[in-house]
Structure 1
Amino acid sequence: MANALDFEVTVEDGATALVPVIDGRSLVDLIAAYEARRGYEPSGGYGGIVPAHFRFGDLGRYYEAREQRQWPRPGHAWVLGCDCGEVGCWPLTTRVTVAGSDVTWSHFSQDRRPSWDYEGFGPFTFDRQEYASVVARAAAAVD
């Protein structure tokens, strides 16, 4: 069964932020609870990505990890940034795999804490057509 993806679109200090919502729960809340259960300090501290603060490129391509210059590296995407609005400050990274009719987020990592283990968090698999539609709506909200 596929997971459901949506985006919470908020305006923070005049800039639009995108927070993934998976199966009706904010990824900010999901990852903060996971980190707290693992005893990671500080746990949480995430916010949405703010495309006005960073050149992600085409968001449709970015969220499929197909952008020509993919951040943070090929095959991966930052899905959350710091609650300060800067993605590079406290990024949550996921591997993005597009296969057939699915898009999967897996192998999560906290780039500033490489020793933190996220095994057991995810994977989240989305229907590719729904995923593309949801990402397109989020990208339109940013434009």
Structure 2
Amino acid sequence: MTNQEIHFDYRSRSDYGVHEVIPCIDGIPLTDLIDRFETAARMDPAGDAYGGLIPEFYRFGPLEEHFHGRSTGGTGPKTPLLGCECGEWGCWPLMVGITVTDEQVVWDSFEQPYRKARDYSGFGPFRFDRRQYDDAVRVLSGTIGPDEA
């Protein structure tokens, strides 16, 4: 199976005067990918429900730990990749299982924890080359800096 390419957008949210982190898969923001999926699956609510993670609102710890699924901070075995469009990840998170091997990083088992009946089995899995993934996380970490993460 072919690997996808990952990068992380760190962009300004003028509505709150902060920055958010949005994963992009093959150049497409994860917010767009999940909106398309939920809308096509006729989930309600759907569309424009998600925003990026905002480090200034919640300290995720070292980004390498977070994006390797090791800093779930009480969220159980899954890791938040997106938060609510309001800026709070605990309000409406998109959660994922993250598996890291020497060769790959896999995102699968997506869920919206406040809508347990939703079926995300058709979303993903997303597979990334481990080196390319780790490089993207390092770039993000260097952009944000240790005081914000």
Is TM more than 0.5 here? yes
Tell me the distance in 1 between the aligned counterparts of 2:141 and 2:85: 20
- Secondary structure of the structure 1 residue equivalent to 2:141: helix
Which segments of 5 or more consecutive residues in structure 2 lack a partner in the other structure? none
Offset, 1:142: 1.9
Offset, 1:91: 0.1
Counterparts in 2 of 1:127 and 1:71: CA distance versus 1, 3 Å: farther
Equivalence map 1:124-143=2 (5 Å): 124-143=126-145
TM-score for both structures, normalised by structure 1: 0.93
Paired residues in the alignment total 141
Contact 1:71 1:78 in 2 (8 A): no
- Give yes or no for the alignment of 1:63 onto 2:67: yes
Q: Name the residue aligned to 1:104.
A: 106
Query: Structure 1: which 4+ aligned runs deviate by more than 3 Å?
Result: none
Equivalence map 1:1-143=2 (5 Å): 1-12=2-13, 13-44=16-47, 45-67=49-71, 70=73, 72-74=75-77, 76-143=78-145
TM-score for both structures, normalised by structure 2: 0.89
Which segments of 5 or more consecutive residues in structure 1 lack a partner in the other structure? none
| Identical-residue share of aligned pairs (%) | 38
Tell me the distance in 2 between the aligned counterparts of 1:77 and 1:140: 21
Offset, 1:24: 1.2
Q: CA RMSD in A?
A: 1.3
